[in-house]
Amino acid sequence: MAAATLVSNGDHAAFKTPSAGRQAAVYSEVQNSRLDHPLPLPSVLKNSFKVVDGPPSSAAGNPDEIAKLFPSLFGQPSANLVPGDSTDNSLSKSLKIGVVLSGGQAPGGHNVISGIFDYLQDRCKGSTLYGFRGGPAGIMKGKYVVLTPEFIYPYRNQGGFDMICSGRDKIETPEQFKQAEDTSVKLDLDGLVVIGGDDSNTNACLLAENFRSKKLKTSVIGCPKTIDGDLKSKEVPISFGFDTACKIYAEMIGNVMIDARSTGKYYHFVRLMGRAASHITLECALQTHPNITLIGEEVAEKKQTLKNVTDYIADVICKRAELGYNYGVILIPEGLIDFIPEVQLLISELNEILAHEVVDEAGVWKKKLTPSSLQLFDLLPSAIQDQLMLERDPHGNVQVAKIETEKMLIQMVETELELRKQIAAYKGQFKGQSHFFGYEGRCGLPSNFDSTYCYALGYAAGALLNTGKSGLISSVGNLAAPVSEWTVGGTPLTSLMDVERRHGKFKPVIKKAMVELEGAPFKKFVSMREEWALKNRYLNPGPIQFVGPASDNLNHTLLLELGAQV
Amino acid sequence: MAAATLVSNGDHAAFKTPSAGRQAAVYSEVQNSRLDHPLPLPSVLKNSFKVVDGPPSSAAGNPDEIAKLFPSLFGQPSANLVPGDSTDNSLSKSLKIGVVLSGGQAPGGHNVISGIFDYLQDRCKGSTLYGFRGGPAGIMKGKYVVLTPEFIYPYRNQGGFDMICSGRDKIETPEQFKQAEDTSVKLDLDGLVVIGGDDSNTNACLLAENFRSKKLKTSVIGCPKTIDGDLKSKEVPISFGFDTACKIYAEMIGNVMIDARSTGKYYHFVRLMGRAASHITLECALQTHPNITLIGEEVAEKKQTLKNVTDYIADVICKRAELGYNYGVILIPEGLIDFIPEVQLLISELNEILAHEVVDEAGVWKKKLTPSSLQLFDLLPSAIQDQLMLERDPHGNVQVAKIETEKMLIQMVETELELRKQIAAYKGQFKGQSHFFGYEGRCGLPSNFDSTYCYALGYAAGALLNTGKSGLISSVGNLAAPVSEWTVGGTPLTSLMDVERRHGKFKPVIKKAMVELEGAPFKKFVSMREEWALKNRYLNPGPIQFVGPASDNLNHTLLLELGAQV
C-alpha cells in the first residue's frame, strides 16, 4: 500500500558498487509521487538567451591580495542571462562536463545534477555528464560514473546525496591539483560543477584559476549548497537546503511547543544544527515563535558571558512562573558557545594545553589556565568539562558541534534557579528536556522551493559552462516573484572573497555570511521576542506539504531579506 | 504569508487562565487548513441507530476476581450500534456530560472531544459538555470549563491536549472517589468520558463501578488513547495517536537513513518512545526497513542478555563491513533494557539497595549486589551506571525511560568491535550517532486517519452515554474498509481485565497489549529483517501529507492485524 518497487529500464550493470545507487530501490508512496513533480524553469532558461556581462568585479575584502591569488580570474564581470539569440555558434556543440558534491548533505543536491543534465540534453545534444563519486576525492582519483537519464531519474526531487555521494576532501596540494588536471585531461572535460558550501566554492575557484593558468579548457562553476544558510550574498540570495532543513526542524519544534503547552511542566531546550552561524535558529524562531531564542551573533556582539546567557534564560523563566507558566521552548544554535568570548578563550587555552600537557587526574594541568578561564571551567557541569577534554578532532581541537550545549544550559539554569528560590525570587518548578535536531533535516525530501531552486541552479550552471565562463557561482535571483520571473546568471567567486592570514600566508576565503544584526530577519525577531517570551504565541508549521496549503511557501529569512512582509 | 491570526467569535472571557486556550492564537497555514478538514462519520452514526447487545462478557483473566471487584458491571454484554429506530424515547433528551484527558498526549485527543460535542449538538439539543481541566484532578477538584462551539473550533484536527490539558493523577482513595461523586452530583452529570491509556481506562471502570454501586446516574465511557499502541484488543483494533506518532518518527528515521547512505560512515542508533511495548519500533521498522531492529518482546522471549544483543548488532555490522557498508540504522525501543532478564534483576537489586543503603564512593554498597549483577553493572558504560543510580522516580525506582540505551549500546558495540578488530574479525570503521525520538511525535497534527478515527470514537462515546451504557470502551472497527463501513460500539472494560496481586490484594489491570511474536506485524518483520540487514532497502515515508498521495494511508501494524497485505 505505501511502498512500490521502482522499476528502472536502464542498464546499470557497470555501477553495482555497494555505496551507491537506488537501483531496484523500494520507494514510499510520497517518494514515488515526487519523482514526476514538475520543475518549472525561469522564462529566460526556457528560450534562447545570451549572456550580458556586468561591470568588472572586485573582492569582499583585500582586493589586492585576491588579485594576486587569482591572476587569471580576478576582476571578471558577473554574467547575466537575458532573452535573445546568442551570437556564439558554439553554444549547441556537445560538451563533456563533470559534477561533484562536496561537504555535508543538503536537500536538493540531486536536483542540481538533474538541472545540469537536462540542460545538456536540451541544449547540447550528445554531451556527457560525469558524476565524480565521493566528493572531490572522486576527481583526484578519477572515480566517476557516466550519468544517464535512467540513472538520474530515481533521484529527482529526492533528498540525500547518494546518487554520487559526497566527501569532505579538499584539492589543496600541488600533487592534488595535478591529479585533478590529469582527470580533467583524461576525460577531456569542458567543465566542472562543484556543488558545495563556502570552503568548497573557494576550492572550486582555486581549481578554476589553476585550470586557466595551465591553459586547460576546463571551466569551473560553483553552486551554493548548505543547510546552514551561511553562503549568501546580494547576488546569491540563499544556499539550497536551508529552506527544507528549517521546515523540518520547525515541524519538530512546533510539535514540541504544543507538547510543552499541553503538559505544562517542561522547558524544552532545543539545540539546532547550523555550524557557526545562527541562521537556522533564527529562521526556526520566525516560523515557530519560541519563548527564548539565542542568536550567537548577538551574544558575540554584546560580549555576553555564559553567566549573562544563563541569567537571561532564568529571568524569562521567573517572569513566566509569575504568570503561571512553568513551561516553555528555548532554541539554541549549535555554535553558541563559540560566540561567547570567555568560552572561546577557554577553548583556545585548552587546545594549547592539551596539545602539550599530560592531563593528570589530580588536576595539576589546570594551573596552566588563566584565572578567569579556570573559574569558568570550574563553573561548567562535569559532563561538559568531559566533552571539552575528550571530544577533539584529529587536529586536537575541541569539536564545538559535539558539545551538548542544551544540557549544559539546563544544568546552569537549574543551579541559578535554585539560588533564586533560596531568596524567594522564584517560586516555580523547573524541569528541562534536551533535544538536538540535526541529521533529521539534512536529507529530507526537498521542499517545492528547494526542488525548483536547485533545478534552476543546475540548469544555469550548465548554461554558464556552455558559454565558457569559469570561476562563477550559479546565481538565481528575484526569488519572491513567480518562477518564470526568476533571474539567472553567475557571480564571480573572487568577488565573494577575502583573505585570512594562516601560517604567515594569505589564504583566500569566502566569508561566511553570519546573521546580520541590522538585517530584516533579525530585526523582525527582535520586534517580537518580548511578546513571544511571556505570551504564548507558539506556531506549529506542521509537516512539509508537497501539494495544497503552504506547499509553495518560502522561508521567512529569504522573504524578509527580499523585502517582503511576513 | 505563512501565518494568520485566528479570529474567534466566541466569548471566552470566563476562560482566560494561563495554562489553557488558543484564543487569538496565531496559526500556521497548515494548522488553519486543518480546521475545516471534513470528518466523515461511519454510516451507522449518520442515521438512526439502535443498540444490539452481544453475549455476556467475561474477563481477560481471573474472571472470578474481576467479578468480585466489579459486582455491578461484570459480565455485561458489548454494545453494537446498528441502523434502526431506537425504541427508547429518551434518546433525544438533553444530557450533561463531562470529558477528561488522562495521561500523556496523543494526536487526536481534541477530535474525540469534538466528536462527543457534535453528537450532543446533533442528537441531544440543549446538552452541556464540561471539560475537566488538567486530567482526573480536574474531576476531583471540580475544575472545568463549559465547552462551546467557539471554544472547540480552534482545536479541530489540531495536535496536543491543550484544549483542557491532561494530568497523571488517579482517582484511587475513598476520599478521591467521594470527591468525584461530589462533582458528579453537583454538575448533575449523566455521563463522563475518560480519554486515556490502560491505567486510565482501568480507573474509568472503577469509577463506573463506584457510581453504579452508589446509585448515581453518571455513566462512564472510556476511549483508547496512547501513542504506544499497547491498548488494544479484538474489539479495539488500535489506540489513537499511534498512527500519527509512528508516521512522524518514520519521517525522521527515513531522513536519517538517506543521510546514512549518503555519508557512508555512521551507524545511527535511534531510540524510540513507546514505554514497555515495542509496537512503535516495530511499526517504524515496517515503514522504513532499517538494518537492525530490536524488539523487546523477542529479547525477553529468547531470554537474551545484554551481551547477546551487543553481539547481534556487532555481527550485522561485521557482515555489512565485508560488503563495503560501514553505515546503517538501528532502531531501539525505549523499554528495551526492561526486557532483558539480567538487567531487570540488576535494576530490582539496585532499587532494593538504594532504598536502604548509603551509596559510598568507595563502592562498598556494590557488595550487596549478587555476583552476576555486579558483573553486569561493571560491564556497563559509566554514564549508564550514573543514570541507573541517579535517574529515579519519587518512589526511588529507576526510570527506565530516561536511560539512554542508544548511547549505552553504541559504547558496548564499540568495545566489542575493538576486540574483533584485534583478532582481525572486523576491518571496518565504526562511528555511532545517537538519537531519541519522543516528544516530537506526541503532539503533531493528527494524520487523516487519527483525525477521522478519533472523531468517530468521540461520537460513539456520546451515543453510548445516550443509551445509558457504562463501563464500556468506545470501539470503532472494520478500519481497513471505507469510513462509511466502520463498525461502532462499546466493549465492556471488565472484559479486557485481569488482576495483579499487589500488597496482598488483587488489583484490576487492563493487560498491556505487547507485541505478539505470533502476530502478523512481527512475522512480516521477521520475514524481511535479514534482507534489510545486509541489503539496503531503506524506505523514506516522507512527511505526513494531508492531501494527495499517501494522505489516507493506514499504518502497517493495523493493516497487517486486520489481515491486509502491505
By C-alpha distance, which of A220, A211, A212, A190 is closest to A127?
A190
Task: Going residue by residue through chain B, which has 566 residues, state the pLDDT in tens, using 9 for 90 and above.
Answer: 334 334 333 333 233 333 345 655 689 999 999 999 999 999 999 999 999 999 999 999 999 999 999 999 999 999 999 999 876 656 678 999 999 999 999 999 999 999 999 999 999 999 999 999 999 999 999 999 999 999 999 999 999 999 999 999 999 999 999 999 999 999 999 999 999 999 999 999 999 999 999 999 999 999 999 999 999 999 999 999 999 999 999 999 999 999 999 999 999 999 999 988 999 999 999 999 999 999 999 999 999 999 999 999 999 999 999 999 999 999 999 989 888 989 889 988 988 888 777 777 777 888 889 999 999 998 888 888 888 887 677 777 777 777 899 999 999 999 999 999 999 999 999 999 999 999 999 999 999 999 999 999 999 999 999 999 999 999 999 999 999 999 999 999 999 999 998 888 999 999 999 999 999 999 999 999 999 999 999 999 999 999 999 999 999 999 999 998 77
* Torsions phi, psi for A465 (to 5 deg): -65, -35
- Let me know: does B67 contact B41? Beta carbons within 8 Å: no
Q: CB-CB: which of B29, B32, B259 is closest to A553?
A: B29
Please report, as a single letter, which amino acid is at residue B190: D
By C-alpha distance, which of B303, B327, B295 is closest to B525?
B295
Between chains, do A443 and B252 touch, taking CB under 8 Å as contact? no
- Residues of chain B neighbouring A445 (CB-CB closer than 8 A): 540, 542-543
C-alpha distances in Å from residue B370, one per residue of B337, B347, B355, B397: 18, 12, 16, 18
3-state SS assignment for residue A513: coil
Which residues does residue A475 pair with via DSSP β-bridges, in sequence order?
Answer: A489
- Residues of chain B neighbouring A538 (CB-CB closer than 8 A): 25
- Binding residue numbers of A for substrate: 226-228, 265-266, 273-275, 334, 439-442
Closest-approach residue (CA) in chain B for A548: B547
By C-alpha distance, which of A434, A440, A254 is closest to B404?
A434
- Let me know: does A480 contact A559? Beta carbons within 8 Å: yes
Has B226 been labeled as part of a binding site? yes
Query: What cell was used for A264?
Result: 505544562
- Residues of chain B neighbouring A566 (CB-CB closer than 8 A): 1-3
- Residues of chain A neighbouring B160 (CB-CB closer than 8 A): 258-259, 261-262
Closest-approach residue (CA) in chain B for A135: B263
Query: What cell was used for B343?
Result: 538487567
Q: CB-CB: which of A2, A287, A542 is closest to B566?
A: A2
- Residues of chain A neighbouring B537 (CB-CB closer than 8 A): 25-26
Spatial distance between the Cα atoms of A124 and A463, rounded to a whole number of angstroms: 10
Between chains, do A441 and B255 touch, taking CB under 8 Å as contact? yes
Has B274 been labeled as part of a binding site? yes
Which residues does residue A145 pair with via DSSP β-bridges, in sequence order?
Answer: A131
Query: Catalytic: which of A162, A228, A243, A450?
Result: A228
pLDDT confidence of residue B58: 97
pTM for the full predicted model: 0.94
Between chains, do B547 and A544 touch, taking CB under 8 Å as contact? no
How much is the ipTM here? 0.94
Domains of chain A and any CATH numbers: 93-241+446-482 (3.40.50.450), 244-442+517-562 (3.40.50.460)
Between chains, do A545 and B550 touch, taking CB under 8 Å as contact? no
Radius of gyration of chain B measured on its C-alpha atoms: 25
By C-alpha distance, which of B467, B33, B418, B477 is closest to B237?
B477
Between chains, do B28 and A541 touch, taking CB under 8 Å as contact? yes
- Residues of chain A neighbouring B158 (CB-CB closer than 8 A): 258, 540
Between chains, do A539 and B27 touch, taking CB under 8 Å as contact? yes
Q: CB-CB: which of B3, B547, B550 is closest to A30?
A: B550
Query: What cell was used for A234?
Result: 546580494
* B566/chain A closest Cα distance in angstroms: 5
Between chains, do B287 and A18 touch, taking CB under 8 Å as contact? no
Active site residue B122: no
- Residues of chain A with pLDDT below 50 are 1-20
In a mutational test of the A interface, the residue from B6, B35, B162 whose CB has the highest number of chain A CBs within 10 Å is B162
- Residues of chain B neighbouring A1 (CB-CB closer than 8 A): 553-554, 559, 564, 566
Closest-approach residue (CA) in chain A for B261: A162
Q: Which residue has the cell 496536543?
A: B160
Has B393 been labeled as part of a binding site? no
* B177/chain A closest Cα distance in angstroms: 24
* A123/chain B closest Cα distance in angstroms: 30
* A563/chain B closest Cα distance in angstroms: 13
- Let me know: does A112 contact A446? Beta carbons within 8 Å: no
Between chains, do B564 and A1 touch, taking CB under 8 Å as contact? yes
* B135/chain A closest Cα distance in angstroms: 10
Between A and B, how many residue pairs show a Cβ–Cβ distance under 8 A?
Answer: 233
Between chains, do A33 and B444 touch, taking CB under 8 Å as contact? no
Please report, as a single letter, which amino acid is at residue A285: A
- Which one-letter DSSP state was computed for residue A225? B
Q: CB-CB: which of B543, B556, B559 is closest to A251?
A: B543
Please report, as a single letter, which amino acid is at residue B522: F
- Binding residue numbers of A for diphosphate: 104
Query: What cell was used for A124?
Result: 547540447
- Residues of chain A neighbouring B30 (CB-CB closer than 8 A): 540-543, 545, 549-550
In a mutational test of the B interface, the residue from A258, A534, A544 whose CB has the highest number of chain B CBs within 10 Å is A258
Query: What cell was used for B28?
Result: 500556521
Between chains, do B18 and A442 touch, taking CB under 8 Å as contact? no
Closest-approach residue (CA) in chain A for B445: A542
* A63/chain B closest Cα distance in angstroms: 37
How many CA atoms lie within 13 Å of B150's alpha carbon, on the beta-carbon side? 12
Query: Catalytic: which of B228, B230, B338, B450?
Result: B228
Between chains, do B255 and A159 touch, taking CB under 8 Å as contact? yes
Spatial distance between the Cα atoms of A63 and A505, rounded to a whole number of angstroms: 15
